[in-house]
Structure 1
Amino acid sequence: MSQPPRPYVLSLAGFDPSGGAGLLADCKTFEQRGVYGFGVCTALTVQSDVQFERVQWMPLADIQAQARPLLERFGVGWAKIGLVESLAELPELLRWLRAQSPAIGVVWDPVLKASAGYDFHAGPAPELVAEVCTALALITPNQPEMRRLWPAAATAEEAAAVVSAYCSVLLKGGHAEGSEATDVLYQNGREVARFTTPRLPHGEKHGSGCVLSAAIVAGLARGESLVEACRSGKAYTARVLASNETLLGYHFQNEHEYANP
Structure 2
Amino acid sequence: MEKVLDKMNYAMTIAGFDGSAGAGILTDIKTMQFFDVYGTAVCTALTVQNEYSFARAGFLPWKQIEEQLEKLAEVRRYSYFKIGLIENAEMLWHIITWIRKHNPNAFILWDPIMGSSTGIRFFVDRDVEEFFPIFSKINLLTPNRLEYEFLKLKNCELKKTAILLKGGHADGDESEDILYENGKEYRYSSKRLPGVDKHGSGCTLSAAILANVALGKSLPEACAEAKKYIAKWFIGGENKIGFVPRLG
TM-score, structure 1 as length reference: 0.85
Q: Is the 8 A contact 2:198 2:234 kept in 1?
A: yes
Q: CA 1:251/1:40 → structure 2, altered by over 3 Å: closer, same or farther?
A: farther
1:222 counterpart letter in structure 2: L
Q: Distance in 1 between matches of 2:85 and 2:127?
A: 18
Q: CA 1:204/1:132 → structure 2, altered by over 3 Å: closer, same or farther?
A: same
What SS class does the counterpart of residue 119 from structure 1 fall into? Answer: coil
Deviation digits for residues 77-96 of structure 1, max 9, x if unmatched? 10000001122231222111
Q: Distance in 2 between matches of 1:76 and 1:27?
A: 15
Q: Shift in Å at residue 58 of structure 1?
A: 0.7
Q: CA 1:67/1:240 → structure 2, altered by over 3 Å: closer, same or farther?
A: same
The residue aligned with 1:238 is 231
1:252 counterpart letter in structure 2: I
What SS class does the counterpart of residue 76 from structure 1 fall into? Answer: coil
The residue aligned with 1:154 is none
Q: Distance in 2 between matches of 1:252 and 1:70?
A: 30
- Structure of greater relative contact order (alpha carbons < 8 Å, 6+ residues apart): 2
Establish whether residue 5 from structure 1 lines up as the match of residue 7 from structure 2.
yes
Q: CA 1:123/1:234 → structure 2, altered by over 3 Å: closer, same or farther?
A: farther
The residue aligned with 2:194 is 201
Q: CA 1:55/1:254 → structure 2, altered by over 3 Å: closer, same or farther?
A: closer
Establish whether residue 182 from structure 1 lines up as the match of residue 176 from structure 2.
yes
1:243 counterpart letter in structure 2: G
Matches within 5 A, 1:109-124: 109-123=111-125
User: What RMSD in Å do the two structures reach over aligned CA positions?
Assistant: 2.2
Q: CA 1:174/1:114 → structure 2, altered by over 3 Å: closer, same or farther?
A: same
Q: Is the 8 A contact 2:12 2:41 kept in 1?
A: yes
Q: Is the 8 A contact 1:181 1:199 kept in 2?
A: yes
The residue aligned with 1:26 is 28
Gap regions ≥5 residues in structure 2: none
The residue aligned with 1:59 is 61
Q: CA 1:119/1:254 → structure 2, altered by over 3 Å: closer, same or farther?
A: closer
Q: Shift in Å at residue 218 of structure 1?
A: 0.3
Q: Distance in 1 between matches of 2:154 and 2:201?
A: 20
Q: CA 1:124/1:164 → structure 2, altered by over 3 Å: closer, same or farther?
A: farther
Q: CA 1:219/1:124 → structure 2, altered by over 3 Å: closer, same or farther?
A: farther
Q: Is the 8 A contact 1:80 1:217 kept in 2?
A: yes
Q: CA 1:41/1:116 → structure 2, altered by over 3 Å: closer, same or farther?
A: same
Matches within 5 A, 1:209-248: 209-244=202-237
Q: CA 1:131/1:250 → structure 2, altered by over 3 Å: closer, same or farther?
A: farther
Q: Distance in 1 between matches of 2:195 and 2:14?
A: 29
Q: Shift in Å at residue 69 of structure 1?
A: 1.8
Q: Distance in 2 between matches of 1:130 and 1:251?
A: 40
TM-score, structure 2 as length reference: 0.90
Q: CA 1:184/1:160 → structure 2, altered by over 3 Å: closer, same or farther?
A: farther
User: How many residues are paired up?
Assistant: 242
Q: Distance in 2 between matches of 1:20 and 1:250?
A: 13
Q: Shift in Å at residue 202 of structure 1?
A: 5.0
Gap regions ≥5 residues in structure 1: 151-158, 256-261
